[in-house]
């Protein structure tokens, strides 16, 4: 961090923006293996929140890596930096009064804990999309597991790189034997309760 920077405080606060939007703002973090359904759930939940007039924005792993994080690899160090940058973006979105949905593998517990230190524990909701590796490989929507098994992809989470499952997530969704509609409703019910709104 540059020693020649001074934090600028503005007159309009997060609380002012939340009041304008008539709802709280926080970061909803979907974590799980590739193919677990994180992005699908985040997308469907956002659609339902939008229908209720709630201000939202989605951050997705693939999209972020095509833009602000396109200079990062999948090494452990770059994965950590990837998540740190996303947490900082999430922090800005929260301060803008927007409920932010983030769908990222985010395989390391320490990185997810660091998100809390950046956005604040009260502003962070961790949702573990718990889908077995077998089911994720069966889906293999992007063909990544096939490439990883053949050696074309290095540092593939669940194959050649670890995934550290959350120990105490705010919500755990086990998708192997649950429909996407039921999973979406479970998440939505949880978020609505956090917002203290009528369903």
**Is 91 a member of any domain?**
yes
**Is 184 a member of any domain?**
yes
**Is 4 a member of any domain?**
no
Question: Measured over all CA atoms, what is the biggest interatomic distance in the chain, rounded to whole angstroms?
Answer: 56
As annotated, the binding site for ATP includes: 32-39
pLDDT tens digits for the chain (199 residues)? 567 777 778 888 889 999 999 999 999 999 999 999 999 999 999 999 999 999 999 998 888 999 999 999 888 899 899 999 999 999 999 999 999 999 999 999 999 999 999 999 999 999 999 999 999 899 988 888 888 898 898 889 989 889 999 999 999 999 998 999 999 999 999 999 988 754 4
**106 catalytically annotated:** yes
Distance CA 142, CA 164 (A): 22
Say what the pTM is. 0.90
**Is 35 a member of any domain?**
yes
Residue among 25, 55, 58, 106 flagged as catalytic: 106
**Is 94 a member of any domain?**
yes
pLDDT of 72? 92
pLDDT of 123? 95
pLDDT of 1? 56
164: containing domain: 23-189
């Amino acid at each position: 961090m540059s020693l020649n920077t001074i934090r600028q405080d503005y007159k309009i606060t997060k609380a002012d923006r939340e009041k304008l939007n008539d709802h709280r703002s926080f970061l909803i973090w979907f974590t799980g293996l590739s193919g677990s359904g994180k992005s699908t759930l985040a997308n469907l939940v956002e659609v339902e929140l939008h229908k209720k007039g709630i201000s939202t924005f989605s951050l997705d792993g693939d999209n972020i890596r095509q833009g602000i994080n396109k200079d990062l690899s999948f090494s452990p160090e770059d994965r950590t930096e990837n998540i740190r940058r996303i947490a900082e973006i999430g922090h800005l979105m929260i301060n803008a009064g927007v409920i932010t949905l983030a769908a990222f593998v985010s395989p390391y517990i320490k990185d997810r804990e660091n998100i809390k230190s950046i956005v604040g524990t009260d502003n962070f909701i961790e949702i573990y999309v718990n889908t077995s590796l077998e089911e994720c490989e069966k889906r293999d929507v992007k063909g990544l597991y096939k490439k990883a098994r053949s050696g074309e992809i290095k540092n593939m989470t669940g194959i050649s790189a670890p995934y550290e499952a959350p120990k105490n997530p705010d919500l755990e969704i086990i998708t192997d034997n649950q429909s996407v509609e039921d999973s979406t409703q479970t998440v939505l019910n949880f978020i609505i309760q956090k917002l203290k709104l009528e369903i």
